[in-house]
């Protein structure tokens, strides 16, 4: 793989304000792509997430990495906004779009833990489905014709967990994340005749900005958070997710993955890339060993 294998390609990363979306957008930029980054947090106003990161900052990071970042404020539940976003990409790029990364989430404030379905607020649970699943469907409905017209491209549905994972611990969260996997599988079926690949992709324990804040650490001091949660020792940066998407997008045989539920740790071994610190976190291997045997050593899985 060359240092800039995606030079000339055009990508859209929805939900790119922070976390895995930002990490993916920046790595696509580092690989040479023009990247449209969308989200609700802008320099002018914060989203309901009330976080300080903005899509303008993400676009600047994409450009600084060597790509071309274009920030487009978009609420992906607003059909008119997504239609205008698609029209803008079509207009500015002459109909070209090579990569769609459906990464909208924003469900943390809507997730209720430690309560069964019937004890959770129904309106909150349904809002979570709209925010985490309907946004992906709305975006794909509008954007996929750009990929289909060129009979090539990659769709990545970012989720949490793989298709063979058990219950994620709370009904509406589990339903949302599982639905995104099925969304990728269904899109793969529709897109296969047109040469477009669709996959679901999960990171491991993602060390996002919000997660760092939760543990009261920075990226430089993140290991201090292990005292609060031993599993944090296996966390990975958003760079790892971004490099996974780049590896897929640069693979001329990427269609072999279509319809599959993939993970950063598996594809890192397949393609040979590492996280930002040069390690190769194997969240799946470590977590599985911990459940089977207990006492798994994190260093054996990085």
CA–CA gap between residue 95 and residue 216 (Å, rounded): 44
Active-site pick, 173, 240, 286, 301: 173
Kindly report the number of other CB atoms within 10 A of residue 133's CB atom. Answer: 21
Distances (CA, A) of 214 to 125, 217, 222: 23, 8, 11
Backbone angles phi, psi at 154, to 5 degrees: -135, 135
**The two three-digit tokens of residue 33, written as one number:** 């792509």
Kindly report the number of other CB atoms within 10 A of residue 212's CB atom. Answer: 18
C-alpha of 183 from chain center: 14
CA–CA gap between residue 115 and residue 23 (Å, rounded): 32
Cβ-contact 197, 191 below 8 angstroms: yes
The residues that bridge with 102 in the sheet, in sequence order, are 157
Kindly report the number of other CB atoms within 10 A of residue 251's CB atom. Answer: 18
CA–CA gap between residue 52 and residue 39 (Å, rounded): 13
**The two three-digit tokens of residue 264, written as one number:** 């950063």
The yes-or-no answer on residue 173 being catalytic is yes
CA–CA gap between residue 179 and residue 156 (Å, rounded): 14
Q: In what order do the strands lie in the sheet with 261-263?
A: 68-73, 34-39, 10-13, 99-102, 153-158, 196-202, 261-263
Whose tokens are 């999960």? That residue is 202
Closest CA to 141 of 9, 252, 14: 14
Could you give the residue numbers annotated as active site? Answer: 173
């Amino acid at each position: 793989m060359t240092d800039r294998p995606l030079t000339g390609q055009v990508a859209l990363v929805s939900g790119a304000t922070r976390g895995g979306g930002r990490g993916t957008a920046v790595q696509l930029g580092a690989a040479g792509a023009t990247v449209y980054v969308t989200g609700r947090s802008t320099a002018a106003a914060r989203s309901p997430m009330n976080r300080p990161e903005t899509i303008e900052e993400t676009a600047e990071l994409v450009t600084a990495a060597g790509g071309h970042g274009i920030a487009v404020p978009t609420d992906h539940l607003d059909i008119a906004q997504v239609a205008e976003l698609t029209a803008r990409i079509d207009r500015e790029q002459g109909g070209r779009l090579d990569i769609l990364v459906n990464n909208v989430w924003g469900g943390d404030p809507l997730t209720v833990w430690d309560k069964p379905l019937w004890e959770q607020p129904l309106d909150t649970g349904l809002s979570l489905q709209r925010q985490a699943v309907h946004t992906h469907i709305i975006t794909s409905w509008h954007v996929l014709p750009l990929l289909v017209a060129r009979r090539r491209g990659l769709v990545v549905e970012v989720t949490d967990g793989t298709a063979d994972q058990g219950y994620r611990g709370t009904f509406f969260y589990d339903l949302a994340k599982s639905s995104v996997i099925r969304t990728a599988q269904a899109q793969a079926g529709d897109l296969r005749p047109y040469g477009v690949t669709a996959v679901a992709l999960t990171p491991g324990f993602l060390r996002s900005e919000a997660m760092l804040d939760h543990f009261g650490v920075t990226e430089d001091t993140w290991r201090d958070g292990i005292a609060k949660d031993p599993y944090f020792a296996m966390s990975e940066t958003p760079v790892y997710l971004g490099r996974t998407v780049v590896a897929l997008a640069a693979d001329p045989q990427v269609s072999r993955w279509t319809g599959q539920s993939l993970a950063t740790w598996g594809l890192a071994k397949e393609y040979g890339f590492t996280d930002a610190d040069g390690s190769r976190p194997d969240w799946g291997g470590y977590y599985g060993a911990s459940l089977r045997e207990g006492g798994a050593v994190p260093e054996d899985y990085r």
